[in-house]
Amino acid sequence: MYRTHNCGELRKKDIGEKVILSGWIQNIRNFGSLFFIDIRDYFGITQIILSKSLLTISLGKEFLIRINGEVIERLSKNYNLNTGEIEIKVSKIDILNSSLPLPFSIIDKTDGSEENRMTHRYLDIRRNLIKKNLIMRHKIFLMIRNFLSMKGFIEVETPVLINHTSEGARSFVVPSRNHVGKFYALSQSPQLFKQLLMIGGIDKYFQIVKCFRDEDARSDRQIEFTQLDCEMSFVNENDVLIFFEYFIKHIFNNIKNIKLDTFPKISYFDAIKMYGTDSPDIRFGMKFCELNDLVHKKEINYLIKQELIVGIKIKKCKCFYTYDNINSILDNIKKLNNENFFWIKYLPDKTFIYSNKSFINKEICSIFIEYFQSNPDDLLFISYGEKKDARNLLHKIRLEIANCLNLINKKIFKPLWIKDIPLFEWEEKNNRYKSMHHPFTSPKEEDLQYLENNPENVRSKSYDLVINGTEIGSGSIRIYKKKIQNIIFKHLGLSKKEIESNFSFFTKALTYGAPPHGGIAFGLDRLINLIEGDEDIKNFIAFPKNNDGKDIMINTPSSLDMDKLKELYLR
């Protein structure tokens, strides 16, 4: 028998009981003839007292031991530990397995580098922090499955090995041994299959599903990631938003005891205008203010020639009084190589300091100070240039300042829906349109009139869920008529032949009474990471890839030997 109890279980009421425990050695304190040892398992930590006379070899950290002993009351109690009022007086010890010296300390604030922890991920998982995260992930998955099942959704698995298409992100391809020169691709998302399920009459579907995209990995993006993928029949945009807002509120309420407010809905264009991004963080203010009219009215030289002049006001910005310390906020911004901005700081004595730009002087500063109705201590940042660049730059400045001034309350969550996203964006390098969401997204009825001739004016029935500046979910109402689907393919530059070979199975399915349908997919790694307020999604994935897309523990990706390459007809 390995254990009568686990290491987190024994309490004062168990004093006097004879027990057997198994656990890894967390800590050893040596008092000469006695050892005080903390042993740890999945459930917790228990202190044991061991007489040196019972030992034949010396022990080390992470040795796995089994002990027989009696539960006794602890003299110096540790109320931080569930088992802190008792300890075990050991009568027998077996060493189940020894351990090499550790590459890093198995404690919450470990000294292990990421590389070291990833190479020995099994040891990293022994740390409370990672274990806790995996348990949390499991709880959230369970809650999702229960909630959606209760609401009439069924979980259906869809294929992972599918076809490569040139749409969307890059896919991983898999050579087929049985079909010479042919390849599968790993699914980037179950998009078409979930739509086919709706055509198949399944009313509500979900799947917790691995998706694969051969893109550059980042600290918030993995090449292999988990989505919660959902689809519903006979719904419009509002039905989907109402249901999934309720769903997200349910998760936050049950996991974090946080009651989220109603999610605001902002059009894509307004988000870009007000925050310079389609994933705004609305936990702090600083909405953009467009200054073109003012610049024209006051005939402010140089700026008058710019396509857009846009600014933000940071109220009561007390800590920045000197030229140097205002400029120091911008160190990260400088890397962007875009100098098209300036700042004006209104000082308590009603004078101001401002960026060193030839076209700014005191008069111009007072025009802006007055326009923004600034009070002493306020700081203005103004960017200018082509619309897209000016907005993007001010968005970066806005975030940088919020970070520097600690304006971001990490404990609050402010979700919002971004709606009315354009159907297409023009891709200069390929000289053609690209879907902003994906090619199966329905245009808005009122914009159908532009679909043939002015596709860039068409807004789509797609929506993104953004929380605290991160896109957590995105989805749309889908096209369910073949004719419209074909127009979209045509705009995307697909030839008749390409449509035929890549998508005919799907457009054909649309012609058998396909129902109206729509859905959404959430990035689950990101969602969990966000809920737990962490900075790195790798902390919530048992065996993540690093930021370079590698798993350095199993050393993948790796080369194949010549025989294997030949078998796959790759040589």
**Cα–Cα dist 294/299, whole Å:** 8
Measured between alpha carbons, how far is residue 153 from residues 74, 194, 266 in Å?
A: 52, 12, 28
**Near ligand ASP by CB under 6 A: residue from 310, 467, 520, 530:** 520
DSSP string, 383-395: EEESHHHHHHHHH
Query: Min. distance of Cβ 358 from ligand ASP in angstroms?
Result: 46
3-state class (DSSP) for residue 465: strand
Query: Min. distance of Cβ 388 from ligand ASP in angstroms?
Result: 23
Show the binding pattern over residues 434-453: x = contacts ligand ASP (CB under 6 A), - = does not. ----x---------------
Query: Min. distance of Cβ 57 from ligand ASP in angstroms?
Result: 55
Query: Min. distance of Cβ 441 from ligand ASP in angstroms?
Result: 7
Residue number, 442 or 539, with CB nearest to ligand ASP = 442
**Near ligand ASP by CB under 6 A: residue from 521, 524, 530, 531:** 521
Helices (H) and strands (E) in the chain, counts: 16, 23
Q: Is 415 in the site for ligand ASP (CB under 6 A)?
A: no
**Tokens found for residue 212:** 């694969």
Residue number, 59 or 241, with CB nearest to ligand ASP = 241
Show the binding pattern over residues 184-203: x = contacts ligand ASP (CB under 6 A), - = does not. -----x-x------------
Q: Specify the stretch interacting with ligand ASP by CB under 6 A; choose among 50-58, 330-338, 468-476, 481-489.
A: 468-476
Please list every residue from 229 through 288 that binds ligand ASP, using CB under 6 A.
none
Query: Min. distance of Cβ 282 from ligand ASP in angstroms?
Result: 22
Residue number, 85 or 155, with CB nearest to ligand ASP = 155
3-state SS track over 173-219: EEECCCCCCCEEEECCCCHHHHHHHHHCCCCEEEEEEEEECCCCCEC
What is the number of residues in the chain? Answer: 571
Q: Are 72 and 85 in contact (CB under 8 A)?
A: no
Residue number, 383 or 474, with CB nearest to ligand ASP = 474
DSSP-H helix ranges across 352-481: 362-371, 387-404
Query: Min. distance of Cβ 199 from ligand ASP in angstroms?
Result: 15
If one counts every other C-beta atom within 10 angstroms of the C-beta of residue 493, the result is 14
Query: Min. distance of Cβ 523 from ligand ASP in angstroms?
Result: 9
Measured between alpha carbons, how far is residue 485 from residues 438, 480, 489, 491, 494 in Å?
A: 11, 8, 6, 10, 12
3-state SS track over 364-380: HHHHHHHHCCCCCCCEE
Query: Min. distance of Cβ 521 from ligand ASP in angstroms?
Result: 4
Q: Is 544 in the site for ligand ASP (CB under 6 A)?
A: no
Q: Is 475 in the site for ligand ASP (CB under 6 A)?
A: yes
Measured between alpha carbons, how far is residue 365 from residues 161, 303, 382, 519 in Å?
A: 61, 13, 11, 49
Residue number, 385 or 519, with CB nearest to ligand ASP = 519
Q: Is 519 in the site for ligand ASP (CB under 6 A)?
A: yes
* 83: nearest Cα among 50, 47, 108: 47
Query: Min. distance of Cβ 479 from ligand ASP in angstroms?
Result: 12
Q: Distance between alpha carbon 137 and the CA centroid of its chain, in Å?
A: 13
Query: Min. distance of Cβ 214 from ligand ASP in angstroms?
Result: 15
Q: Is 523 in the site for ligand ASP (CB under 6 A)?
A: no
Residue number, 19 or 186, with CB nearest to ligand ASP = 186
Residue number, 127 or 438, with CB nearest to ligand ASP = 438
**Cα–Cα dist 42/22, whole Å:** 11
Residue number, 443 or 519, with CB nearest to ligand ASP = 519
If one counts every other C-beta atom within 10 angstroms of the C-beta of residue 120, the result is 17
Sheet holding 173-175: strands in order across? Answer: 161-162, 183-186, 173-175
**Cα–Cα dist 414/262, whole Å:** 9
Q: Is 22 in the site for ligand ASP (CB under 6 A)?
A: no
Q: Specify the stretch interacting with ligand ASP by CB under 6 A; choose among 260-268, 276-284, 513-521, 558-566.
A: 513-521
Contacts of 341 (CB under 8 A, 6+ apart): 333, 355, 381, 382, 383, 384, 393, 394, 397
Query: Min. distance of Cβ 210 from ligand ASP in angstroms?
Result: 12
Residue number, 474 or 507, with CB nearest to ligand ASP = 474
Query: Min. distance of Cβ 287 from ligand ASP in angstroms?
Result: 28
DSSP-H helix ranges across 358-515: 362-371, 387-404, 482-491, 496-498, 504-510
Q: Is 476 in the site for ligand ASP (CB under 6 A)?
A: yes
Q: How many residues bind ligand ASP (CB under 6 A)?
A: 9
**Cα–Cα dist 411/345, whole Å:** 30
**Cα–Cα dist 189/167, whole Å:** 12
Residue number, 232 or 294, with CB nearest to ligand ASP = 232
Q: Is 474 in the site for ligand ASP (CB under 6 A)?
A: yes
Q: Is 83 in the site for ligand ASP (CB under 6 A)?
A: no
Q: Specify the stretch interacting with ligand ASP by CB under 6 A; choose among 14-22, 86-94, 113-121, 518-526.
A: 518-526
Residue number, 23 or 190, with CB nearest to ligand ASP = 190
* 260: nearest Cα among 279, 271, 245: 245
Residue number, 23 or 519, with CB nearest to ligand ASP = 519
Strand partners, 345: 353, 379
Query: Min. distance of Cβ 161 from ligand ASP in angstroms?
Result: 17
Q: Which residues bind ligand ASP (CB under 6 A)?
A: 189, 191, 438, 474-476, 519-521
